[in-house]
Amino acid sequence: MAQAFHIKLRKKINPLMQKFFRRLLIKEVQNRPIELDKIKRVIIVRVNYRIGNIIFTTPLINALSQLLPDVKIDMIIGASFVTPLMEGMPNINRVYSFKRDLLKHPLEMLKLKRELNQNSYDLMILPSGSSTSDAMMSWAVDATYKVGFYNENSSKRLTNVIDAEENIIHEALKPLALLKALGVEDIYRFNHYLDLKITKSEREESRVKKGIGIFRDARGEKKIENRWWQELVDVLQELNPKIEFIDILDPNNQEPLNRTIDTISEKNLRILASKIANLDAFICADTGPMHLASASLVPTIALFKTTSPIKYGTLGERDLSIVIKDKSIKDIAIEIYTHFYKLV
């Protein structure tokens, strides 16, 4: 599926806008030493509208909570439906949503700006190196220190810049390099996996039937046809007739794979993550629920058609990313089943 025209246009215009505003407004950044004992309120800015990109902030959030256990961490994100997911993390204080059309409502924008600035943030962290929306928030929201990646074309208003770590390839782990601004020399000492911190009580309240979850939806060329999914289920059940599958339904597509498989449908992402955490494993394409499952610490098998698992794949020790191109469904099923066998 080709990208929409407005998305292509935005990708071309954004770098030009950032370059223009940088030349017009940005002065030379002064990398001031950050006094950790004075950091009480932190805000992480990730104005994005995809589940996976927001979940990618969890390694940074959890590392910050280890480094500064008494701080209050707020977030600014894009999609409001992701808010309950992040607010449920024990180390998150408040999540603000920046709607796509907020700029069309200047009074609401001013209200949000006023509310944020009343929080008197000591530290702002901008994990993305190229987001125009994040750059705009770096100007709108006050903070004593503003930390982000060096980008010669970025218009972010920063007090401290950090070079990207060349050895870190995965998009979820790159933001850990920003901890260097806080005096952290060994960023590899923090957990290198996604973790939404689903609690024991959350799992118990959302308990579901044991089995292997599947999620069939995905964007554009990442999507895998239902016929393919049915054949995969059939082959896996031939390998082990005792395997029970649970079809996780997209809120916008309630059609099950078939009538013999149990289904789960849940719009609240935090509750959905808690239900997934009870499963034996989870299989899906390269899509947001893949990261949701992995961050719920359930063994996750990700099936990649077009994108790179090195940059976007699962990170859990019990996870598996499979590039399915040029592989038969039987070979993929055997690879999945062999992985399951090792987990038992």
| Whether residue 127 is found in the same domain as residue 177 | yes
In a domain, 335, yes or no: yes
What average pLDDT score do residues 236-250 get? 96
| Whether residue 225 is found in the same domain as residue 156 | no
Secondary structure (DSSP) of 261-287: SEEE--S-HHHHHHHHTTSSEEEEESS
In a domain, 263, yes or no: yes
Question: What six digits make up the tokens of 86?
Answer: 């992040």
In a domain, 8, yes or no: no
Range of the domain at 100: 26-189
> Residue 102 has what pLDDT?
73
Report whether 322 contacts 302 (CB < 8 A): yes
| Whether residue 48 is found in the same domain as residue 176 | yes
pLDDT of 9 above 60: no
| Whether residue 212 is found in the same domain as residue 120 | no
What average pLDDT score do residues 2-12 get? 51
| Whether residue 288 is found in the same domain as residue 220 | yes
In a domain, 206, yes or no: yes
> Residue 175 has what pLDDT?
97
pLDDT of 84 above 70: yes
- Of 135, 156, 189, the last residue of a domain is 189
> Residue 15 has what pLDDT?
59
| Whether residue 171 is found in the same domain as residue 78 | yes
| Whether residue 106 is found in the same domain as residue 179 | yes
CATH number at residue 273: 3.40.50.2000
pLDDT of 4 above 90: no
| Whether residue 179 is found in the same domain as residue 222 | no
In a domain, 158, yes or no: yes
Total number of domains in the chain? 2
Q: Which residue has the tokens 């998305």?
A: 7
What average pLDDT score do residues 64-76 get? 96
- pLDDT confidence band for 193 (50 / 70 / 90): very high
- Whole-number Å distance between alpha carbons of 227 and 198: 33
In a domain, 101, yes or no: yes
- Of 189, 209, 239, the last residue of a domain is 189
> Residue 129 has what pLDDT?
84
Strand partners, 101: none
- Whole-number Å distance between alpha carbons of 171 and 55: 11
DSSP, collapsed to helix, strand or coil, labels residue 89 as coil
- Whole-number Å distance between alpha carbons of 14 and 275: 39
H-type alpha helices, the chain: 5-25, 51-55, 58-67, 83-87, 106-117, 132-140, 200-205, 226-239, 269-276, 288-295, 309-312, 329-343
- Of 131, 157, 189, the last residue of a domain is 189
Average pLDDT of the chain to the nearest whole number: 90
**Each residue of 141-192: pLDDT tens digit?**
999 999 999 887 777 889 999 999 989 999 999 999 999 999 998 999 999 9
**Each residue of 93-144: pLDDT tens digit?**
999 998 887 778 888 889 999 999 999 999 999 999 888 889 889 999 999 9
In a domain, 9, yes or no: no
**Each residue of 12-67: pLDDT tens digit?**
556 555 555 554 444 556 677 898 999 999 999 999 999 999 999 999 999 999 99
Q: Which of 6-10, 29-33, 242-246 has the lowest mean pLDDT?
A: 6-10
> Residue 12 has what pLDDT?
57
| Whether residue 209 is found in the same domain as residue 185 | no
- Whole-number Å distance between alpha carbons of 122 and 34: 10
Percent of the chain whose pLDDT exceeds 70:
91
| Whether residue 209 is found in the same domain as residue 176 | no
- Residues in contact with 254: Cβ distance below 8 Å, sequence separation at least 6, in sequence order: 265
In a domain, 15, yes or no: no
| Whether residue 169 is found in the same domain as residue 131 | yes
| Whether residue 169 is found in the same domain as residue 250 | no
